[in-house]
Amino acid sequence: MALTPLLVALARAPRMRPRRAFLLGLTTGVVAFAGTLYWLVETMTTFGGLATPVAVFAAGLLVAYLALFPALFAMLASRFRGRFGLLGLLFAPALWVTGELGRQYVWDGFPWMLLGYSQVPVLPIAQLASLIGVYGLSALLALSATAVAHAIVARGRSRWMPAAGTLALIVAIALWGRARLHESPLLSQGDPVRVAVLQGNVAQEEKWNPAMRGEIMDRYLTMTRQALADHAAFVMWPESATPLPFEQDIVAGAAIRRLAVESGATFLIGSDQVEPIAASSATDKVRERSYNAAFLVRPNGGVGAVYRKMHLVPFGEYVPLQSLLFFAGPIIGAVGDFSPFTPGTDPVLLPVGSHLASTAICYEVIYPNLIRRFVRDGSELLTTITNDAWYGRSSAAYQHWDQASMRAIEEGRYLARAANTGISGFVDPYGRAIAKTQLFEPAIVVRDIRFLKNRTIYSRIGDVVAWLSLALVAAALAATLR
């Protein structure tokens, strides 16, 4: 129902001025994104050291930018309404999905909380993502909102036809999804592996305190030994778990490697990686590149692979348009004593025994095209490591968990998630939480999950629904310009 009020307002004025339609959509977007991303203010004041008015302004910039997509949606929907009559409303689902696709690709993307994520708790409907992804779910929700709006605005018996057709479609999807959940054939396929996720619960203000380095490493090493005592073969630490870069902390690195050799287990360690930049002349200062990385430590103690985070968090790991947004600099300083991160370029896979896994660091998991690329390249297990301490006890941590769960449904893979302060746990290939921790408490979760090789339809065709939506909108727009 989310889009119904906006669509009714647009449909009732067939000759609405573009500016008014734009402002209606902008208002809708501001309300939606301010309500979804309200936690940004607390994050920037608590951890970024910004004054509340400045934090509100900075968060408002992001909200205003995101609101441009609903604004353009409303302007084009109004145009189609005026050109094609009430039937023009039926372009609304394609228009909305096109806007969500834009949120993924424009300005490095920020596809946080797309409409389809609302269905993660509604598992029978969410199974549709295994066919057409989260964008397909967004299209279904936009279609339902459009059908209701059409029934409200139109006259005569035909007003109910789109609503009846949409209801029949939803019922059919729910029945199919329920049958898919009942059968769950993927739960008995593939090779089993016992995985542990560690939730160290290190407070953000302690994370970069030099006096806490020894205690933090002791905590994770102790938790790792406990997980190994529970026969874990693959142990995951959260994002940036080590206080110092893994390759530079000789003592901690040696302890981790020794544990791997003694236990014969594989470790995934979230840590920074620092890479020197070759000097162009003898007078140049020594420079470095910093990466937010994940190190795979093999049972022989060697590093089997290093994945560097490809999608950095705006205002967290880099400041976009920094010369214009100079006031956001303190947020970068709060993350740690380093230069802004450099994004990685390669979707590196992680060898775990004879199998391949993949990892997404922090909010990278909200990019469906990245996770699909991992699976296309051979990933049999999805993992994600994150530090959600920034979010406090707001809804952001729960939003993040739901978006990660969607990736498991889309790709037909188990997903393991290690988060510093939660939520950590496991999700099966149908989106069901196998285990799920509480926020802000230390936890060790060990479960038997599986490496899977079968691929879903979505993993093969990708975001076809989104690209077809873009093509349909382009064709309709061209028709209105004739």
In the annotation, is 436 catalytic? no
For residue 320, what pLDDT is reported?
59
Whole-model pTM: value is 0.92
Does residue 335 have a pLDDT over 60?
no
In the annotation, is 285 catalytic? no
SS3 track for the chain: CCCHHHHHHHHCCCCCCHHHHHHHHHHHHHHHHHHHCCHHHHHHHHCCCCCHHHHHHHHHHHHHHHHHHHHHHHHHHHHHHHHHHHHHHHHHHHHHHHHHHHHHHHHHCCCCCCHHHHHCCCHHHHCCHHHHHHHHHHHHHHHHHHHHHHHHHCCCHHHHHHHHHHHHHHHHHHHHHHHHHHHCHHHHCCEEEEEEEEECCCCHHHHCCHHHHHHHHHHHHHHHHHHHHCCCCEEECCCCCCCCCCCCCHHHHHHHHHHHHHHCCEEEEEEEEEEEECCCCCCCCCEEEEEEEEEEECCCCCEEEEEECCCCCECCCECCCCCCCHHHHHHHHHHCCCCCCCCCCCCCCEEECCEEEEEEEHHHHHCHHHHHHHHHCCCCCEEEEECHHHHCCCCHHHHHHHHHHHHHHHHCCCEEEEECCCCCEEECCCCCEEEECCCCCCEEEEEEEEECCCCCHHHHHCCHHHHHHHHHHHHHHHHHHC
Residues 28-70: tens digit of each pLDDT: 999 999 999 999 888 878 766 778 888 888 889 889 999 999 9
Instruction: Taking residues 234-249, report their average pLDDT.
Output: 94
Could you tell me the fold of the domain covering 190-453?
A: Nitrilase/N-carbamoyl-D-aminoacid amidohydrolase (3.60.110)
List the catalytic residue out of 100, 317, 362, 411.
362
Range with lowest mean pLDDT among 8-22, 285-299, 403-417: 285-299
In the annotation, is 309 catalytic? yes
List the catalytic residue out of 207, 309, 317, 411.
309
Instruction: Taking residues 452-467, report their average pLDDT.
Output: 97
List the catalytic residue out of 42, 100, 239, 410.
239
- Domain ranges within the chain, ordered by starting residue: 4-184+463-481, 190-453
Range with lowest mean pLDDT among 107-121, 310-324, 377-391: 310-324
Residues 372-428: tens digit of each pLDDT: 999 999 999 999 999 998 888 899 999 999 999 999 999 999 999 999 999 999 999
